[in-house]
Structure 1
Amino acid sequence: MSRTDNAAATKAKNHTAPSPASDDRRIDSKTLLGEAGRVIIEHDGQRYLLRQTHAGKLILTK
């Protein structure tokens, strides 16, 4: 194994979706994003843009 090839030494990460709790707050994305398909979210003094792509996916950027 070369110094730049560490794939064998790195364990694969299993990505699982978070399990929603029965009491989690839910809001429809159309209600959240509005007609424009985007909303600014303020968190700890920072602004984030949540937007819907043409493919219908959600992207959150700082």
Structure 2
Amino acid sequence: MIINTRLIIILYHYAMQPTDLTDTCKRYTPHPEPEDRRIDSNELLGSEGRVVIEHDGQQYLLRQTQAGKLILTK
């Protein structure tokens, strides 16, 4: 019973901690630098809207969704 009570207290303590995920995401989201090389997505994806990228001997598929977003899959 003592262990269960301690567990409940610990869980309650963490549940009451404020979490702001927006600050965490802002810290770890990479931002392009002005001197970074830029390629237009239409030029990269071509008329098919997809391209295979080889990296370290593995193939990745970069494609554009119907909503216009980009998805990179292995």
Normalising by the residue count of structure 2, what TM-score does the alignment of the two structures yield?
A: 0.65
RMSD, aligned CA: 2.3
Query: Which has the larger share of helix?
Result: 2
Stretches (4+) displaced over 3 A? none
CA distance in 2, matches of 1:43, 1:60: 12
Query: Which has the larger share of strand?
Result: 1
Q: Matched residue pairs, number?
A: 58
Relative contact order, higher structure (CA 8 A, sep 6+): 1
Gaps of 5+ in 2: 1-6
Structure showing greater Rg? 2
Which range moves more in the overlay, 14-23 or 48-57?
14-23
Gaps of 5+ in 1: none
Identity in percent: 61
